[in-house]
Amino acid sequence: MRAKGDGRGDLATGGALHPVVDPSGQTLAVIALDAPELGPAVGGCRMRPYPDLDAAIAEARALARAMTTKVLLAGLPYSGGKTVVIGDPARDKSPALWRALGVAIEQLAGRYWTGEDSGTTPTDMDRLARFSRYVLGRSAGAGDLGPMTAEGVLLAMRVAARYRFGADGLDGLTVAIQGLGAVGRPLAERLTAAGARLLVADLEPVRVARVVERLGARAVDPASILQARADILAPCAFGPVFDLDSVPQLRCAVVLGAANNQLAGPEVADGLQARGILYVPDYVVNAGGVIAATAELDPGGYDGDRVRARLSIIEARVARILAEAALHGRTPLAVADELARRLWAARRAATGRRASPARPYRAEREAAKLA
């Protein structure tokens, strides 16, 4: 599938947007870079059949901005970026697509690194890496980022359960998972091992059947999973998931999942809090994937044990955000956003310049302790 339009127009304004076009001028993908002054951008390559170019641009911008916030709170020396490929991942992948995208990423000369995301796989990253050096999440590196993302979500859930229920773990709690893809499935496995009871839903029945058979989960209709009675609701598909109309229908105590951009707007966080539902911002809890992917850039390359140790920052961030929110009567989203703004300001002050391939951002140049 290709988006209608010449691939330029709106792409020339409103931020650092880079079109990927085929020889006929049709747009195949859009690359968004959110805040290059903070360091080289990182962000996954997502593939979906967007209805039009405007929808692809809007999602690329939103996801790139969320990625900047995510890497700041994860303590990573990067800024946010995102690639959205316009097409059906089941039928529209081709050597020509990976060549065009790889060439576009290579031309950014290190200002942007990509990796797998919804609709793409480590095998796709292997193909993309034939045409660009700036590809993470390959089979020989971090590989499938879903398990590490799920591990970070699990750590965040333990903190939220301690805060909301006074529980030392997740044993006996009911967790409703929306989406059993790259993150939802390994999250279900970890939750089962932790003693949680699972309600699961996915648009692909085969995924549900496998989790029900292997883990003893209970299947729920995808149309009603968000209204299921559960202790924790874990959106792990696509956002936005919640708006002010859907909040009154929820029957959970905690919303905490891996899906990006879960709220239609910040006012939804106020609505959740007014109902006594604890919402933990997605960009805090789902950082495990980018923590894992960027570990490929470490001296000596990727090391799984080192990545698992780094995931502890998710636990620490969630604990701090929930404590501050409770102390000041604010939503966790407001506290997390404010913390990200402080980190952003400190990062800019530490670098004092725009990032460039010739003078890349170095973490040791930051202030000793940002926040």
Look-up: residue for tokens 């650092």?
16
CA distance 100 to 21: 7
Contact of 20 with 101, CB cutoff 8 Å? yes
As to burial, measured by CB atoms within 10 angstroms (0-12 exposed, 13-18 middle, 19+ buried), residue 62 is middle
pLDDT of residue 360: 43
pLDDT of residue 36: 86
pLDDT of residue 339: 96
CATH architecture of 146-333: 3-Layer(aba) Sandwich (3.40)
Nearest to 259 by CA among 243, 235, 290: 235
pLDDT of residue 283: 95
Q: Where are the alpha helices (DSSP H) in the chain?
A: 53-73, 95-107, 122-128, 146-165, 184-193, 205-215, 267-274, 282-285, 288-294, 304-310, 312-328, 332-351
Rounded to the nearest angstrom, the gap between the alpha carbon of residue 301 and the centroid of all alpha carbons in its chain is 22
Q: Do domains 9-128 and 146-333 have the same CATH topology?
A: yes
70 DSSP 8-state letter: H
Please give the structure tokens belonging to residue 220. 């729920």
Per-residue pLDDT of the chain (371 residues; tens, 9 = 90+): 344 333 322 333 334 899 999 888 899 999 999 998 888 999 999 999 999 999 999 999 999 999 999 999 999 999 999 999 999 999 999 999 999 999 999 999 999 999 999 999 999 999 999 999 999 999 988 889 999 999 999 999 999 999 999 999 999 999 999 999 999 999 999 999 999 999 999 999 999 999 999 999 999 999 999 999 999 999 999 889 999 999 999 999 999 999 999 999 999 999 999 999 999 999 999 999 999 999 999 998 899 999 999 999 999 999 999 999 999 999 999 999 999 999 999 988 886 544 444 444 343 333 333 33
Query: Is 4 tagged catalytic?
Result: no
318-330: buried (b, 16+ CB within 10 Å) or exposed (e) per residue?
A: bbbbbebbeeeeb
pTM of the full structure: 0.87
Q: Compute, in degrees rounded to 10, the torsion defined by CA atoms 231, 237, 243, 248.
A: -30
Sorted by where each begins, the domain ranges of the chain are 9-128, 146-333
Please give the structure tokens belonging to residue 30. 């859009």
CATH number of 9-128: 3.40.50.10860
Nearest to 89 by CA among 135, 142, 29, 46: 46
